[in-house]
Amino acid sequence: MFILNIERLFVPVGKEPSAAGIIGLPAGIISFLLAKRQVDKNRLKQLKVRQRMRKSNEGDYEGSRYHHPAEDVKLDH
């Protein structure tokens, strides 16, 4: 059976914070926020590109590249 020692979960009162904790925690938070900001910028850029592609694909195509010869055949029934 697992016994949880609650005293180990809390930081001792008399102990001072370490230099790694003082520097590392804010640096980690700042780096996370900067990375998140960069990801959001890239996502917005990709969204705009997809919107432009979707807008350009609307409408009928009249080009010879997309013309199917079977559409010209008229069937008499």
- How many domains would you assign to the chain? 1
**In a domain? residue 37:** yes
**In a domain? residue 14:** no
**In a domain? residue 11:** no
**25-46: pLDDT as tens digits:** 889 999 999 999 999 999 999 9
**In a domain? residue 69:** no
pTM attached to this predicted model: 0.50
**In a domain? residue 38:** yes
**In a domain? residue 4:** no
**In a domain? residue 45:** yes
> Could you give the CA distance from residue 31 to residue 27 in angstroms, rounded to a whole number?
6
Query: According to the model, what pLDDT value does residue 51 have?
Result: 93
> Could you give the CA distance from residue 22 to residue 27 in angstroms, rounded to a whole number?
9
Query: According to the model, what pLDDT value does residue 5 have?
Result: 60
**In a domain? residue 64:** no
Collect the ranges in the chain with pLDDT lower than 70.
1-15, 60-77
* Structural domain boundaries enclosing 36: 21-53
